[in-house]
Copies of this chain bind each other. A is one copy, B any other.
Amino acid sequence: MDSQYTPLINNMSKFVSLTEGEINLFCSFLSLKEVKKKDYLLRQGEVCHSNNFVIKGCFKAFDINDGEENITQFAIENWWLADVKSFTTQCPALFFIQALEDSAVIQLPYDKMEEVYQKIPKIERFFRIAFQISFANLQERIVKMNSLSGKERYKHFIATYPKIEQRVPQYMIGSYLGLTPVFLSNVRKEIARGN
């Protein structure tokens, strides 16, 4: 086992231990997709046909409201990324997903999920755990959105996701945090002097 899918297998081995046979079978459902900078992995209104695991590059997931883009998620190497609602129910996607760098993802297609779960129940276990943890993380994020000021949210972000802070423009971090670029610039100036 030393394929292009190794990073994904390593990620899953955190929660489930797959046999050689299971790994080979699982990999037969996967495919690799490269996405050039500024290209879209998904557009609002389309159906999200696959769950994606980032092995290279960086993405943003966002919607557009009154012409303003509103980022809800970043994803870099070893993150899963999808419009989960659209992927789950095969309804039109709420989000655009766009590459911020030349990127690559491993794709797990919706129409193979039932077969995957049936043939390799450990995969369903993996996603049970992954979604459970992801849910807990979103809950914490909501708490912070409601209880912290803009400056506090920014400080928390750069402490929590230093790798993202280095790779994406400030104004996108602002969008993720619900702050304008102008305000974020002022916050950064304040922080630069001692808080």
Name A residues whose Cβ lies closer than 8 Å to a Cβ of B. 63, 65, 68, 70, 72-73, 84-85, 88, 94, 117, 121, 124-125, 127-128, 131-143, 145-147, 178
Copies of this subunit: 2
Residue contact B70 to A147, C-beta cutoff 8 Å:
yes
13 A-B residue pairs with Cβ-Cβ distance under 8 Å, sorted by A, are: A72-B142, A72-B146, A85-B140, A88-B132, A88-B136, A94-B140, A117-B125, A127-B128, A127-B132, A131-B131, A134-B135, A138-B138, A138-B139
Scoring A84, A88, A140 by chain B CB atoms within 10 A of each residue's CB, the highest score goes to: A84
Q: Is the interface of A mostly helix, strand, loop or mixed?
A: helix
Residue contact A85 to B128, C-beta cutoff 8 Å:
no
The 5 closest A-B pairs by CB, nearest first: A85-B136, A128-B128, A131-B131, A138-B138, A84-B136
Residue contact B139 to A72, C-beta cutoff 8 Å:
yes
Residue contact B139 to A142, C-beta cutoff 8 Å:
no
Contact of A147 among B63, B117, B142 (CB under 8 A): B63
Residue contact B145 to A178, C-beta cutoff 8 Å:
yes
Q: A117-B125, A124-B124 are in contact. Are A88 and B133 (CB under 8 A)?
A: yes
Q: How far is it, in angstroms, between the C-alpha of A139 and the C-alpha of B178 when the chains are bound?
A: 14
Contact of A143 among B63, B131, B143 (CB under 8 A): B63
In the complex, chain B residues whose CB is within 8 Å of the CB of A147: 63, 65, 68, 70
